[in-house]
């Protein structure tokens, strides 16, 4: 069983304290019905070498130590243990000289948004659907005082635990929760990220209201979504899969997404980036050896998915809670 006592202690004197009434029980319940590989993953993390990073950089990427901070034998053990938690989708990470070359070059997305969002210094941040916590760590590098990620995929939670082993004093945490496990109203976060989640929700407008209920007055939402070209009220509803992804329920136009945010009660809605996803940004690597974007596109026309829909294009949108 994962131990979150350090997180519970970290929030007991903060505005997050009311969450402690339900959170430990929720986590215990979810983990008790957890993934069958959890014991193996825990043994993997326990088998990682004890190393100390002389330098840590979370501002210009995620770099923990250098190759000179570990001997060759420890690096071989570390590499083997890191490889046991494949696939690594978000990243990259550099850990004692080992380059975890993830499927996504997530830093590209960070670079698109970092100069547009409200400064993160001294902020409490929530990342919904955070994966292995890459953006949580980047927000700490940008000055956040606390970053909380939630993701129900326990493999990603364990990847974060593996990285956090060498970042013990960094105030970032990833919890094995979906947004449905969050309190209905916990309006205490200064910034809430929802990156690549909304189109996986059957009720996207409900998702936006859930996000709003977690933001303090004046707080900022950072939202990323697949989008389609079109006008207000245009929404692509895939028949089956989209780019071989399951559970893609609705892909809005930018105008529709803006309207959804306004209807949910957000203000100052602004689009900061629209980018076509390329096979340089999302691709298969030694750390994610399954099919990736190039396999999801029409081999005769990269402007279409394998199903004949427009190829993935994504928008980054900011909005304020009052």
Domain around 124 = 5-321
How many CB atoms sit inside 10 A of residue 113's CB? 19
CA–CA separation, 253 and 99 (whole Å):
37
Read off the pLDDT of residues 212-239 as tens digits, 9 standing for 90 and up.
999 999 999 999 999 999 999 999 999 9
What is the number of structural domains in the chain? Answer: 1
Q: What is the reported pTM?
A: 0.97
Chain mean pLDDT for the chain:
97
For the chain, what is the largest distance between any 2 Cα atoms, rounded to a whole number of angstroms? 58
How many CB atoms sit inside 10 A of residue 67's CB? 12
Read off the pLDDT of residues 110-152 as tens digits, 9 standing for 90 and up.
999 999 999 999 999 999 999 999 999 999 999 999 999 999 9
3 state DSSP class of 278: coil
DSSP secondary structure, 245-274, as one string? BS----EEBHHHHHHHHHHTTEEEEEEEEE
What CATH number does the domain containing 95 carry? 3.40.50.150
Read off the pLDDT of residues 248-281 as tens digits, 9 standing for 90 and up.
999 999 999 999 999 999 999 999 999 999 999 9
Q: Is the pLDDT of residue 199 over 80?
A: yes
Q: Is the pLDDT of residue 35 over 90?
A: no
Looking at residue 119, the DSSP 8-state letter turns out to be: P
Range list of H helices, the chain: 5-11, 23-32, 38-46, 72-83, 106-113, 134-141, 154-164, 204-212, 254-263, 293-296
């Amino acid at each position: 069983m994962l131990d979150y006592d350090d997180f519970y202690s970290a929030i007991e004197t903060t505005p997050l304290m009311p969450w402690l009434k339900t959170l430990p029980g929720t986590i215990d319940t979810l983990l008790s019905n957890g993934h069958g590989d959890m014991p193996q993953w825990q043994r993997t993390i326990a088998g990682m070498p004890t190393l100390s990073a002389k330098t840590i950089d979370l501002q210009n990427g995620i770099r923990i130590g250098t190759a000179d901070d570990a001997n060759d034998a420890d690096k071989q053990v570390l590499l083997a243990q890191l490889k046991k938690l494949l696939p690594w989708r978000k990243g990259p990470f550099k850990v004692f000289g080992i380059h975890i070359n993830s499927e996504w070059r997530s830093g590209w997305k960070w670079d698109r948004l970092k100069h547009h969002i409200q400064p993160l210094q001294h902020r409490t941040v929530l990342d919904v659907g955070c994966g292995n916590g890459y953006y949580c760590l980047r927000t700490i590098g940008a000055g956040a005082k606390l970053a909380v990620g939630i993701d129900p995929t326990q493999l990603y939670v364990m990847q974060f635990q593996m990285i956090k082993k060498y970042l013990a004093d960094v105030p970032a945490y990833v919890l094995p929760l979906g947004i449905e496990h969050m309190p209905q109203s916990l309006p205490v976060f200064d910034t809430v990220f929802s990156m690549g989640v909304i189109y996986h929700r059957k009720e996207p407008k409900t998702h936006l209201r859930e996000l709003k209920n977690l933001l303090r007055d004046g707080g900022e939402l950072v939202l990323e979504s697949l989008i389609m070209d079109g006008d207000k009220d245009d929404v692509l509803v895939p028949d089956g899969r989209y780019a071989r992804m399951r559970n893609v329920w609705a892909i809005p136009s930018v105008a529709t997404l803006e309207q959804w945010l306004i209807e949910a009660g957000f203000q100052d809605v602004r689009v900061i980036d629209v980018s076509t996803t390329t096979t340089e940004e999302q691709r298969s690597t030694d750390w994610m050896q399954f099919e990736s974007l190039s396999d999801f596109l029409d081999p005769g026309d990269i402007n279409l998915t394998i199903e004949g829909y427009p190829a993935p294009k994504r928008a980054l949108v900011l909005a304020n809670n009052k």
